[in-house]
Structure 1
Amino acid sequence: MASIAVCPGSFDPVTLGHIDIITRGAAVFDKVIVAVLHNRNKQPMFSIEERVSLLQEATKDLPNVEIDSFNGLLIEYMKEKNANTIIRGLRAVSDFEYEMQAASINKKLGPNIETFFMMTNNHYSYLSSSIVKEVAKYNADVSDIVPEVVAKALKEKFQHTT
């Protein structure tokens, strides 16, 4: 049986930290589904379709990576995709408390599904999508912290909002 992992997130926008986790996950699992979630608690800068497209372009060289999107509970999505592992990146100790709670409830809802934590590469430990958007808003160069396609998309978004 193939090992299928899901790497969920809002990816608004995808950063090189995300790409690092996705790439490393793709080296461990037979298939990685990067699942863009619709988070009702957030007002995203990029639409679901834009985020999926940006991720497809940023991961096009990873043959065992698929990009998708979903609404609802992650565990239900996992079951639908016959996935057995959730991939989550940890940047700092502060991430761990939230991620531990999420992993615990996911284990309760899906006892056969495991959560696989990966420490973010030190080069990206300070990165978050929120920080990227804040820096890009002031027309600063973000080309060394996001994929090239994302840097272009951010520049275009902020040109239209100013």
Structure 2
Amino acid sequence: MSEQSAARIGVYPGTFDPITLGHSDIIRRGAKLVDRLIIGVTTNPSKNPMFTTDERLAMVRREIADMRLGNVEVVGFNALLMKFARAQGASVILRGLRAVADFEYEYQMAGMNQQIDDEIETVFLMADVSLQPIASRLVKEIALFGGNIAPFVSHAVCEDVERRVGEIGRQGDY
């Protein structure tokens, strides 16, 4: 395959704990920008996951199947992002932004990633304005305190989270 006809591969990495409507929005839109989009489900030592890696992989795969996107696949990884992207043949890292605080963190990460591999570009997509407040961390917190998470995740993910909260127990007094 020549350089000009090579498929453009993108990686959208994240913990997806759980996958939210904001993630799904970025996936749908990102899938239009590349020939193949790989959703990289990873671990993050600084986060306390509600779901195991295998559970998150299954959850994301189910959500992708429901979106009927033929050019998207889900892969688990536990490595440096740029090494994972290179191994996948990616030329693009896709990142979603919700707010200025996201930009500051992502800007720093993009700069570090460019130092590691300057042949892979980072592309930022702004979350849909109606989805900007949604964060997996907040979804888990709302669920743990007995709040309604249905506006932030799909019906199936809502059931997954509620089942897990039932297993680990709710927080709070009210």
Query: What TM-score range do you get, normalising by the shorter chain?
Result: over 0.9
2:49 to 40, 44, 50: 44
Superposed CA RMSD: 0.9
Greater C-alpha radius of gyration: 2
Q: What percent of counterpart residues are identical? A: 40
Are 1:135 and 2:107 an aligned pair? no
For residues 76 and 34 of structure 1, the distance between their equivalents in structure 2, rounded to whole angstroms, comes to 15
Q: CA deviation at 1:42?
A: 1.7
Matches of residues 6-155 of structure 1 in structure 2 within 5 Å?
Answer: 6-60=11-65, 61-155=68-162
- In structure 2, how many angstroms separate the alpha carbons of the residues matched to 1:134 and 1:43? 12
Q: Secondary structure at the match of 1:68?
A: strand
Measured in 1, the distance between the counterparts of 2:52 and 2:31 equals 25
What is the letter of the counterpart of residue 36 of structure 1?
V
Q: Secondary structure at the match of 1:59?
A: helix
| TM-score w.r.t. length of structure 2 | 0.90
Residue of structure 1 in register with 2:172 after alignment: none
Letter in 2 for 1:4: I
1:139/1:155 contact within 8 Å kept: no
TM-score, normalising length from structure 1?
A: 0.97
Unaligned runs of 5+ in 1: none
Per-residue deviation at 1:139? Answer: 2.9
CA distance in 1, matches of 2:71, 2:149: 27
Q: Secondary structure at the match of 1:28?
A: coil
- List, as ranges, runs of 4+ consecutive aligned residues in structure 1 with deviation greater than 2 Å: 138-141
Give 5+ residue unaligned stretches, structure 2: 1-5, 170-174
